[in-house]
Amino acid sequence: MRFPFSNAVFFGVVQALHVSAHTQSVLSDSSKSWSEKYGSQNDLPFTGPLAFSHLPYHRCLEDASPVFDVAVLGMPFDTSVTYRPGARFGPTGIRVGSRRMHSQRAWSLSWGLDPYQQGLKIIDCGDVPINPFDNALAIDQMEVAYSTLLQREVVRTDTEAVVGSTRPFTKDNKEHPKIVTLGGDHTIVLPILRSLNKVYGPVSVIHFDAHLDTWNVPSPTAQARVTHGSFFYIAQEEGLLSNTSVHAGIRCKMTDEADTTTDEETVGFKIISTDDIDDIGINEVIRRVRERIGDSPVYLSLDIDVIDPGLAPATGTPEAGGWTTREVKRIIRGLAGLNFVGADVVEVAPAYDHADITSIAAADIVHDFLSLFVSAEPPKPRDERKPKLPRDEQEPRAVHDEI
């Protein structure tokens, strides 16, 4: 077993800064091997294989042996966008953005918990090898990949006690894993919804986005109807959506007001606009989303362009005047306890960025999704939480055998 991340980073830094007499003697001894002298070959935040938050990485599509409750899965697909391509680099970019996070240092003030200490096995299942030349083939590959993982056995089977159990909503009355997908352009949600439909039937969607994505595209071919702005319309045609979905953060230009009629009456979405947050406040945004979704099984899809392009510039179709990252994160926390069956972050196209700003935001949101999956209710404000225990009376941390 390697040293915990926090030891590797912080003890290493401390040793470098405070050179003691003991350390001097270590430095003068050149006869020992690395392991004799320094121990493990720890991964630092900026080194090592690229997995989300340094999680165990498995090629789960070809290797069925890793058992998990939650999987992170990349879908590097970007060949059905209306404007700037580049989201095929999103999964890699988000993993790069996650490098300062680690499952041994994952407790946050905002949630008051560590998602990796709640008894769920969370791993990175790598990327789907997606054909970049044929969209019909690519979309089938994504559906097959998602279905393959969705059908895997979970670690925790004591479903009565598990927060966020999927079993009450499944056709086969079994517990199914949850997948957090790293996009990819937003079209990836169509094969995901097709896959979820086989297990759950129609689901509601909470859709964070600047755009509706419910466009009925006039097109001379069937395949060209399937775009990152039209996939929800197709999903509705296929009966994949229940009529209780909601958008959050809409601010795009439309053809005319009739677009909102199609969106609501045909596809089944209610709109919460970007501007609404100023008029009704965050708590009312949260209340309206929760009321709309109710007890239905719900899929959470977050287009990074819901965030203002000043804070998340690396995306294909940026729209000025968006929500802040902090506002989006707080709304997500307010959704805890809904019946989530999966989630994604899409439309991260790292090339339109500098300093990994967008990837860092997206990675943090993925961490929020993991916290969401293990929370029965939204976290209380900090001054309403119970006083913390002295350190020696706190629960011992779970030991991760693969870290």
Region near Mn ion per CB under 5 A, out of 140-148, 180-188, 195-203, 356-364 = 180-188
CA–CA dist 175, 154 (Å, integer): 7
Report the nearest approach of Mn ion to the CB of residue 213 (Å): 5
Phi, psi angles (nearest 5°) of residue 179 = -120, 130
> Residue 277 or 302: which CB sits closer to Mn ion?
302
Burial of 334 (0-12, 13-18, 19+ CB in 10 A): buried
Report the nearest approach of Mn ion to the CB of residue 314 (Å): 14
Query: Do the strands 297-303 and 339-346 form a parallel or antiparallel pair, or are they unpaired?
Result: parallel
Give me 339's structure tokens. Answer: 């019946």
For the four alpha carbons of 53, 181, 83 and 241, in that order, the dihedral sign comes to negative
> Residue 11 or 83: which CB sits closer to Mn ion?
83
Report the nearest approach of Mn ion to the CB of residue 84 (Å): 13
Region near Mn ion per CB under 5 A, out of 169-177, 201-209, 365-373, 387-395 = 201-209
Is 213 near Mn ion (CB under 5 A)? yes
Report the nearest approach of Mn ion to the CB of residue 174 (Å): 32
> Residue 175 or 319: which CB sits closer to Mn ion?
319
> Residue 70 or 346: which CB sits closer to Mn ion?
346
Q: Scan residues 234-253 and list those touching Mn ion (CB under 5 A).
A: none
Q: Which residue has the tokens 């479903």?
A: 159
CA–CA dist 41, 3 (Å, integer): 9
Region near Mn ion per CB under 5 A, out of 32-40, 68-76, 207-215, 291-299 = 207-215
Report the nearest approach of Mn ion to the CB of residue 131 (Å): 22
Q: Scan residues 47-106 and list those touching Mn ion (CB under 5 A).
A: none
Applying CB under 5 A, which of residues 127, 209, 327, 368 lies at the interface with Mn ion?
209
Q: How many residues bind Mn ion (CB under 5 A)?
A: 5
Phi, psi angles (nearest 5°) of residue 127 = -115, 150
Cβ contacts of 263 within 8 Å, gap of 6 or more: 212, 214, 247, 269, 271
Report the nearest approach of Mn ion to the CB of residue 116 (Å): 29
Roughly what angle, to the nearest 10 degrees, separates helices 189-200 and 135-150?
Answer: 40
Bridge partners for 183 per DSSP: 75
Bridge partners for 75 per DSSP: 183
Give me 198's structure tokens. Answer: 């086989």
Pattern 362-391, Mn ion, x by CB under 5 A? ------------------------------
> Residue 186 or 367: which CB sits closer to Mn ion?
186
Report the nearest approach of Mn ion to the CB of residue 220 (Å): 24
- In the sheet that 122-127 helps form, which strands lie side by side, from edge to edge? 122-127, 70-75, 178-183, 339-346, 297-303, 204-208, 245-250, 269-273
Report the nearest approach of Mn ion to the CB of residue 167 (Å): 30
Pattern 290-329, Mn ion, x by CB under 5 A? -------------x--------------------------
Q: By the criterion CB under 5 A, which residues form the site for Mn ion?
A: 186, 209, 211, 213, 303
